[in-house]
Structure formats: structure tokens, C-alpha cells
Amino acid sequence: MKRFEPVIGQDVGEVPVRLLFTQDEAGVLVDQAQEPMVMTVPHLILRELIAFLVLTWILVMVSLLWDAPLEAIANPSQTPNPSKAPWYFLGLQELLHYYPPLIAGIVLPGLAVLALVIIPYFEINIRRPPLFDEKRGKRLAALWVTIIGACVAMSLPAEVMPWVLVIPTLLGGLVITGSALGLGVLARLQDRSLAFWLMSWFILELTVLTIVGTFFRGPFWMLTLPWIEGIY
């Protein structure tokens, strides 16, 4: 049984405008204004080509100027002190300094990956209401309870006091508080959401851990200053 007859025509008076029924918040984009478009060839292709050439040029120059490291041949009987993983795992190795391997090597990275994977399925960071648009006092109190709680939770299972995690968390709390109160340049961050602050905190911790592990750790994983003792 034919229920619809498609009609094609130029006359707007005869052929009706297409109708679209959408549910609330279905997220259908309807073009309201004509967005300016350009041809892919040559506009986008040229930009891509230029970006690729600039990247290649930079990498070629770096490769001509700096040599990749090559140490002595592998020797299983001679353990270097310290033994360091590749730089992108040094954050993990730094964590292993504070926590037992099960927590530092498996639980924390596992939680981080899990959190990353589920982000889009829980509408995280999509609506983005400002964290402090209402009930500022209450929210600030809750923020500091959370931060102190997080610092305690990070310290309890640790074998060594994890200052590298605690200090950036406290500093982050100060920055968030500053933004809520609209202090100086931080006022610009006043409209940021909880998701923004959480992700920024995660990136900050990861960066600090990696930098400390890469530049500030020497023999026996003791703290060293790279400008005095060099980089191990």
C-alpha cells in the first residue's frame, strides 16, 4: 500500500516545504543561516598540504640538529640507576614511587582509561553550565570539602606522601576559587563548567607527574634538580 506520493517541483505554492518532527533535545541541527562554504579543492587540500610540509620541515630540521640517544649495548647484568621507562610512561613510574604496583600500575591507569571511554555516554561537558552561576558559597564549600577529601584519599593508600599529586590539586583549588570570586585574570574562567575543571585537573596531574619523573628524578628515584645534576 502506497501511503506517500513523493512530489518534486519548483513551485513553492504547489509543493509543500519539508516538515521535520523532532523530539525535545534530539540534537537535530537545522540550518538557520546559510553557512559560507568553500570548495575542498583547492582550499582545504592546499591548507592540508601546507600543514604537512611545515610539520615535515620542522621534524627534518630537528633530526638534522639533534641526534636520537643511543647508549651502550644492552647488558642484563648491569642495571642503570635509575632505570627509566620511556617519557610518556614516566608519570606512571612516578606513581609507582608512591603507591603499591596494583594501585599505581593497574587501578589508577585503568580508572583513567575507563573515565575517558565513558565520557561521551554520560553527557559530560556537553551542556556545560558554569560551576558557580548560582549558590556560590555552597558550591565553594563543597569544592573544598571535595579537594581536601581527594587529597586525603590520595595520601591514605600511599607508601610515600604524594606531594606531587597533592600540591597541584590544592593549587588547582585556589585557581578555581579565584575564578569563582572573579579575581584578576582568573575572572575569565568564571563561566567554566565542572567538566572543564576536572579534565584540566587530570591533565595538570599527568603533566606534573611526567615532568617530575623525567627531569627531577635521579639515582634511587631521589629528587634531583636538573639544572644542577642534569637529567637522568
Partner 1 sequence: MSSFPKKKRPGFAKRVWRSIVRHGAPNTNRNRSLAVFTNLFLHIHPVKVRRRAMRFRATYYLGGLTAATFFLLVVSGAFLMIYYRPDPLRAYGDMKDLQYVVWMGRFLRNLHRWAAHTMVLLAFLHLCRVFFAAAYKPPREFNWVIGVVLMGLTLLLSYTGYLLPWDQLAFWGVSVGTNIISAMPAGGDMVKLLLLGGTGVGGNALIRFYVLHCFILPAVLTVGIALHIWRFRKDGGVCLPPYEGPDQQATTASKGGSP
Nearer Cβ to partner 1, position 41 or 228?
41
Quick check: 20 binds partner 1 (CB under 8 A)?
A: no
Which residue type does 144 have?
Answer: W
- Candidates 11-19, 37-45, 150-158, 179-187; binding stretch for partner 1 (CB under 8 A): 37-45
- Taking each helix axis from N to C end, the angle separating 136-155 and 163-181, rounded to the nearest 10 degrees, works out to 180
Are 229 and 219 spatial neighbours (Cβ–Cβ below 8 Å)? Answer: no
CA distance 117 to 53: 33
- Shortest distance, CB of residue 7 to partner 1, whole angstroms? 27
CA distance 213 to 87: 8
The binding track of 126-155 with respect to partner 1, each residue x by CB under 8 A or -, is xxx---------------------------
CA distance 65 to 63: 6
CA distance 122 to 118: 7
Options 36, 137, 220, 228; binder of partner 1; rule CB under 8 A: 36
Q: Write out the residues near partner 1 by the rule CB under 8 A.
A: 27, 29, 31-33, 35-45, 47-48, 51-52, 55-56, 59-60, 62-64, 66-76, 78-80, 83-89, 92-93, 96, 101-102, 105-106, 113, 116-117, 119-121, 125-128, 196, 199, 203
